[in-house]
Structure 1
Amino acid sequence: MYLYLFLTILCATCLAQPFQDHYSFSPAVGGGSGTQYVTKGAGRVTAIRVWELFGSYIVGIQLRYDYTWSNVVGRSILHQEPQEMYLRNDEAIVQVSGKYSSFNYIYQIIFVTNKGRFLIAGQPVQISFNFYPVHPDAELRFLSGRFNGAGITSLGAHWGVPKLNATY
């Protein structure tokens, strides 16, 4: 009887193991004033756009999920092309780094892929931060934080192993 129970529990544990949700969160950095935001979309992150106030701080960020762009968080700048990076099919964002001020804005943001490509926007001034997932198969799922009328004031990263047809 106990052997049967033990084998049942062992089999159930082994079957459940591959389906674990490997999620982690990199807590937000920055001053944190203004309105909360969360980027969201269905599928994997496939592209990134970043707007910066020339020679200064980050004012807007936009992620593309599969083939659909999320709303811009922060703001875009009229008549200024954003810095963009389109990911390849086998590519994912595995690190977000940059610089922030504890009083006001995110000054620099760097997105790094599992293939070693990166997008850098903003200026390398103030305090450094470095976000990455806990699980080795995880990738960037969405960003959260705060923004005011001028720019992005705080930034956090959410990581997970992508699921098919999942909305984040």
Structure 2
Amino acid sequence: MMLMWIFFLFTLLATVTAEEDDQQRGSSFSGEYGNGGGTSFTLSGEHRRGKITGFRIQEQCGGIIHGIQFQYGNVWSELHGLKSGLRHEVLLTKGENIIQVLGKHYSYYIQQLIFITNHGRIFTFGQPAGYSFNASPLYRGAFLSYISGHHNHYGLTGIGFHWDEPRLTKA
């Protein structure tokens, strides 16, 4: 009986400690989705300029995602991938953050990206073909801070999403 109580207390203590660690961390990673071949990239460091205020997607007409770029404050990051095809530009409104990204990948490339914001806006790019993924933060209130991934001479081959809580970033 005593051994059972010790086990119960140990389990309870471990659970409380894990929950406290989760509350203290507040950043998480989803991905990498796709095969990830080619040249690696990351926008880590760009997010220190502030939150994402816009993004651009280079898309093959009705096809794969060629390239991606984010705006932090009023400064655009480097384009990762290929500057080819249709260019879509989205500017976020004040207080708007990306809170979920859905997509599809097939063969070597990212086929589709769907960005969902905390203001209920949904932006869809690419072709709905391949294996689905659903990227979202582990922590309530967190939002997309930056991305990382891979690209080659034709398009994005892999993508991962890095999430932060509001208290971890500049406004």
TM-score (norm 2): 0.80
Q: Is the 8 A contact 2:51 2:170 kept in 1?
A: no
What is the identity, as a one-letter code, of the residue corresponding to 2:137? P
User: Per-residue displacement from partner, 1:49-69 (whole Å, max 9, x unpaired)?
Assistant: 101111210000000011111
- What is the count of residue pairs matched by the alignment? 147
Identity across the alignment (%): 39
**Greater Cα offset, 156-165 or 56-65:** 156-165
Asked if residue 35 in structure 1 is aligned to residue 39 in structure 2, the reply is yes
Residue number in structure 1 paired with 2:53 = 46
Deviation at 1:120, TM superposition (A): 0.8
Q: Which is helix-richer, 1 or 2?
A: 2
Superposition CA RMSD, Å: 2.0
Asked if residue 87 in structure 1 is aligned to residue 96 in structure 2, the reply is no
Q: Which runs of 5+ in 1 are unaligned?
A: 1-15
TM-score (norm 1): 0.81
Q: Which runs of 5+ in 2 are unaligned?
A: 1-19
The list of structure 1 runs, each at least 4 consecutive aligned residues, that deviate by more than 3 angstroms after superposition, is: 162-166
Deviation at 1:39, TM superposition (A): 1.9
What is the identity, as a one-letter code, of the residue corresponding to 1:100? H
User: Alpha carbons of 1:113 and 1:165: their partners in 2 closer, same or farther (altered >3 Å)?
Assistant: closer
Deviation at 1:20, TM superposition (A): 3.3
Residue number in structure 1 paired with 2:105 = 100
Q: Is the 8 A contact 1:84 1:119 kept in 2?
A: no
Mapped partners of 1:118, 1:159: distance in 2: 18
Deviation at 1:137, TM superposition (A): 1.4
Q: Is the 8 A contact 2:26 2:164 kept in 1?
A: yes
What is the identity, as a one-letter code, of the residue corresponding to 1:135? Y
